[in-house]
Amino acid sequence: MLLQLLCLVLGPSEHQTCDINCTELSLLLSRKRIRTFVIIDKPGQNWLISSNIRLELGGVDRPHYDEDVPDLILLRHGRSQWNQLNLFTGWHDVDLDAQGEAEARDAGRLLAESDLDLRILHTSLLTRAIRTAEISLYEASRSWLPVRRSWRLNERHYGDLTGKDKKETAEEFGMDQLKLWRRSYDVPPPPMPAGDPRSNALDPRYRDVAPEEIPMTECLKDVVARVTPYFADVIAEDLRREGVKGGAVLVVAHGNSIRALRKLLQNIDDDEIAELEIPTGIPYLMKLDDTLDVLEADYLGDPDAAAAAAETVARQAG
């Protein structure tokens, strides 16, 4: 749904009228960038909201905290069994392989060597992310962290490509088509057929997810749309809650859900984010200010090792 808003934006700007979708509005609200907005009526639509409805966000001053909001650490799971076999994985649940477990331990050591005060963990519902978090936090002596898990942090759903060999897919459909499915921002692979045994519809971990929200295929744009409300409603609130205490928030997820978070936080454009390679098992530290803007960001540890790991991901046929 596209809303037309009359917004008073925090900062030097005056009132602005803009078209905005619900996802974008959710992110702006989470960052406290809008202190007042008026929804402008859209006659003839199926919905109608009175134009005098207002939302006040804590007065006219920019929110103030005793310290910056906490550091946010993004960690892609270690190499999985299907990564090793070069298969499209997506929502299919597989464990780490031996190398992936080693990557998780290395990530834990990097976290332990940093001065980060890890306080809250977020993961997807997929085993490879959960196990990466468990191993790395054990290595960092933080196994006791409270955990929040959400399907919204799951990997992108690869539709009918799920379980297929990436190189064989390239041979069948051509590299151009494969790249379009893998690295375009808004072109999803063919959907998984209805009733397919690979479907996640009956998986008990998704019992409380509305059936229409369980995808049959996704592009990166779809992942951004489902990750954004989770960031705005849950992760951002944890960042603020821990910020005054100097705590850090760790998110262990997947290549595409981490791309989605980085797009939101770093304002990366559609073409660039689709090409961004996310290495497995190397923590990415984002230092934020009190509006959740990124002040600086980089991988922990050796930058050459992070670049080499990203190149390894890029060399995969899919």
Q: Residue 268 has which token pair?
A: 């990366």
Residues 6+ apart with CB under 8 A from 44: none
CA atoms within 13 A on the CB side of 82: 19
DSSP structure string for 54-75: B---SSSSPP--SSPPPPEEEE
Joined together, the tokens standing for residue 138 give 């054990």
Integer angstrom CA distances of residue 217 from 182, 199, 211: 12, 10, 14
Q: Is 77 a catalytic site residue?
A: yes
CB-hemisphere CA count at 13 Å for 278?
26
56 is an active site residue: no
Q: Do residues 276 and 243 lie in contact, with contact meaning Cβ atoms separated by under 8 Å? A: no
Radius of gyration over alpha carbons of the chain, in Å? 20
Alpha-carbon distances, residue 179 vs 27, 173, 270 (angstroms) = 29, 10, 15
Structure tokens at 237: 């609130």
- Of 77, 122, 157, 254, the catalytic one is 77
Catalytic residue among 155, 157, 218, 242: 155
Cα distances (Å, whole numbers) of residue 251 to 49, 125, 217: 36, 12, 23
Catalytic site positions: 77, 155
